[in-house]
Structure 1
Amino acid sequence: MLGRSKHWLLGIAGGVLLALMTNYNSLLAKHTSSVFGSWVAHGIGAVAALLLVLVTARAFGAGGGERKEKRAKAPFWVYLGGIPGAFTVMLAAIAVNSSLELSGTIALMLVGQVLFGIVSDYFGLFGTPRRRLVLADFFVVLSVLTGSALIIFGGA
């Protein structure tokens, strides 16, 4: 049970960090431009990722010692993950500074993630196993869309 709750907490922490990132990037874009905000976000992210790699390599070993497994070569498209990330930062920075604000932007980002996840599962994109759509999938999309509409049009 503890292992599962750890994953839930990490997921929630990721959502909190996504909201903070979107907010800070939009503030930077408001004072400069969305492209500059994206460059800064990805530059800082690259430095942070490098530091994490160096710290974990030092803490857990560089991977060279006893275990020298032959690793499969990654397909070329896995290196393109930064492209959607850059567009996410830019589009979020633009949308947060609109009438949607932060909560509406994050709600619509969730809609996009759910819809793309369902499409990806159905077609087996990126090496994922194919899965048939079930009625529950439509209820999930309807629930997320309804919640997003309430957030955006509810007007608090």
Structure 2
Amino acid sequence: MKGRSADWILAVAGGALLAVMIHYNSVLAKHSSPVMASWMAHGIGTLGALVLVVAGARIFRPKGPNPMPAKAPGWAYLGGIPGAFTVWLAAVTVNSKLGLSGTLALMLVGQVIFGILSDRFGLFGVPKRRFVLKDLFVVLAVLSGSAILIFFRS
């Protein structure tokens, strides 16, 4: 557990930034279109990513006898495609009756279910892992929380 608190804080911050990004994109989609909002998010995101790459290359330069990691598989470079669809779908659903919290809750449901399936079948090179009863409880907990957010809010 020691040393992992920073990871937890960064993960929570990432979730908060995801909520902010989805909100901003939904506002832009409401004033233009979901496709335009997605294009803008990815265009501006590309510029931000370039800044981070340049800064990160200087700050986090690999050290040691073998500084370059192994070459990534070709499909690993395609992460922007589901990212674009995520932004587009979020811009559409946030402007529906689901709202921001419902959209994020159901996105979490999708992440948990896809994660369990990825583990079970070893998708994308992750180690295979058997489905255990705890996984069912996780899905039920996330579904229950999502239902509360969606159906029982004032």
TM-score, normalised on structure 2? 0.94
Which residue in 1 is equivalent to 2:83?
85
The one-letter code of the counterpart of 1:33 is S
- Residues 14-53 of structure 1 aligned to structure 2 (within 5 Å): 14-53=14-53
**How far, CA to CA, are the matches of 1:122 and 1:114 in structure 2?**
12
1:100 aligns with 2:98: yes
| Structure 2 portions without partners, runs of 5+ | none
CA RMSD in angstroms comes to 1.6
Q: Secondary structure at the match of 1:3?
A: coil
- Residues 66 and 137 of structure 1, relative CA distance in 2, 3 Å threshold: closer
The one-letter code of the counterpart of 1:133 is F
**How far, CA to CA, are the matches of 1:128 and 1:68 in structure 2?**
24
The one-letter code of the counterpart of 1:19 is A
Deviations 1:104-154 (A, max 9, x none): 000000000000000000000011000000000000000000100010001
The percent of aligned pairs where both chains have the same amino acid is: 64
**How far, CA to CA, are the matches of 1:12 and 1:69 in structure 2?**
30
1:5 positional shift:
0.8
1:72 positional shift:
3.1
Runs of 4+ in structure 1 deviating by more than 6 angstroms, as ranges, are none
TM-score, normalised on structure 1? 0.92
1:33 positional shift:
0.5
**How far, CA to CA, are the matches of 1:88 and 1:70 in structure 2?**
31
The one-letter code of the counterpart of 1:11 is A
| Structure 1 portions without partners, runs of 5+ | none
Which residue in 1 is equivalent to 2:59?
59
Which residue in 2 is equivalent to 1:149?
147
